[in-house]
Amino acid sequence: MKIINARLRHKDQLYTIICENGYFTEVRIQTDVISDECDIDAQQQLLCAPFIEPHIHLDAVLTAGEPRWNKSGTLFEGIECWAERKQMLSESDVQSRVLKAAELLISNGVQHIRTHIDVTDPNLTALKAIAPLKEKLLPYLDLQIVAFPQEGIFSFPKGKQLMEQALEIGADVVGGIPHFEFTREYGVDSMRWVVELAQKHNKLVDVHCDEIDDGNSRFLEVLATAALESGMTSKVTASHTVAMHSYNNAYCSKLFRLLKMSGINFVSCPTENTHLQGRFDNFPKSRGITRVKELRNAGINVALAQDSIQDPWYSLGNGKLLRQVDFALHACHMMGYDDFKVALDFITDNGAKVMNISDSYGIEVGKPANFIVLNGKDDVEVIREQSDVIWSVRKGEVLIERKPSVITQCPKLCL
Ligand code: FE2
């Protein structure tokens, strides 16, 4: 495959790119715009590595309103609705919804997904339905599965056994939910247990950590310490961490030293948490997003994710990660030009670090020929225009091709 007239992120020149046998074999600078024979003429638009969705709950997608709507809008009513919907799961129900959501994500340039799957189900129905899809979806995307204990590990009957069983069935990542455990002690113990389990089975860790508007929810320090002392460091991710929004600055200052030392990653889900958090506030209402800008400025890896597509926690969602970036830039006060220039990091390179796939991710000779072409010249234009993905290519094969929308009528206004 030959691609011409491509712009790469943070480069001034245009590039010709050659892919052979599914890998990049040449990335060379052009001196000018060319009109050679090719498979893709990028027409001076941005070519970058595929988008990454590092935190979504595919088992729950497309279930909003089933069997009832979450009327309070709280995280906890969402968990109650889901506990009812969970009784209705079957293999075909789960697989058909997951495949529909996967199509939506693929059509928006996503090729790498980390999904949390609820394993607080004695039958593990969703996990058993989704695990075989990893292989089926491989031509289109890489799927990492997190064993996610939605109703707790120490607080759910046979919670530990279900987690271990989930790893045997095919989960790649060990999850946790310390703020939802019955007691603080259970929460602390669960964090140490999660890291030990991951080490024992050579798995990654991704914890729903402190997803609550309680400034006293401080399991992040326990997780980061376990990551540091076990040596798991960047194999550990803390998702959500919205309580950090409510921590006082003196505590945060001390905490950030540990976070930097630990090397752990963060995932923030800005639309989801702005919707779910602040529900117990009068005014002012907290935004409920972790300190994305401050973490990034401290050199800590932060990726952005959607969390939900039309489920009991969030009834919108459309598979478009650029929407998350746009939202986070506004809500986290990252509206400076320097913020815009690197904004795509949040849904590309930073997500790759979360998923521990950086070695095989990016536009470099020798790496798999996975890329997208966007309808914009750089991060700034793509974010501003919320650009469409025009091409998505995986292992040198075209997954999607889209024609940019064309206006057929518009008034001409001039002085
Ligand atoms: Fe989540």
Same domain, 183 and 103: yes
Same domain, 7 and 60: no
Whether 162 and 124 have beta carbons less than 8 Å apart is answered as: yes
Backbone angles phi, psi at 349, to 5 degrees: -55, -40
Same domain, 263 and 344: yes
Tokens matching residue 132: 């075989």
Same domain, 219 and 79: yes
**Counted domains in the chain:** 2
Same domain, 312 and 384: no
Mean pLDDT of all residues belonging to the chain: 97
Same domain, 175 and 232: yes
Residues with Cβ within 8 Å of residue 307, at least 6 apart in sequence = 55, 56, 57, 269, 271, 272, 273, 313, 314
Residue 395 lies in a domain: yes
Give the pLDDT band of residue 402 (cuts 50, 70, 90).
very high
pLDDT at 374 exceeding the cut of 90:
yes
Q: Which amino acid is at 66?
A: E
pLDDT at 414 exceeding the cut of 90:
no
Give the domain CATH number at 30.
2.30.40.10
Among 132-141, 330-339, 403-412, which stretch is predicted with the lowest mean pLDDT?
A: 403-412
Same domain, 163 and 175: yes
Residue 388 lies in a domain: yes
What is the extent of the structural domain holding 129?
51-360
Q: Tell me if residue 85 falls in helix, strand or coil.
A: helix
Same domain, 30 and 155: no
| 82: Cα within 13 Å, side-chain hemisphere | 28
Q: Which of 53, 77, 181, 211 is catalytic?
A: 211
β-pair type (2-7, 14-20): antiparallel
β-pair type (14-20, 23-30): antiparallel
CA of 210 to the centre of ligand 1 (A): 11
pLDDT at 189 exceeding the cut of 90:
yes
Same domain, 183 and 305: yes
Q: Is 211 a catalytic residue?
A: yes
Q: Tell me if residue 157 falls in helix, strand or coil.
A: coil
Residue 406 lies in a domain: no
| Consecutive H or E run containing 114 | strand 110-118
CA of 379 to the centre of ligand 1 (A): 26
CA of 190 to the centre of ligand 1 (A): 17
Residue 409 lies in a domain: no
User: How far, CA to CA in Å, does 247 sit from each of 74, 272, 342?
Assistant: 20, 20, 27
Same domain, 92 and 182: yes
Secondary structure letter of residue 348 according to DSSP? T
- pLDDT value at residue 170: 96
Three-state DSSP string of 354-401: HCCCHHHCCCCCCCECCEEEECCCCHHHHHHHCCCEEEEEECCEEEEE
CA of 23 to the centre of ligand 1 (A): 33
Same domain, 176 and 272: yes
CA of 261 to the centre of ligand 1 (A): 25
Give the pLDDT band of residue 133 (cuts 50, 70, 90).
very high
CA of 196 to the centre of ligand 1 (A): 22
β-sheet with 110-118: strand ranges across: 51-56, 110-118, 142-148, 173-174, 204-209, 236-240, 265-268, 302-304
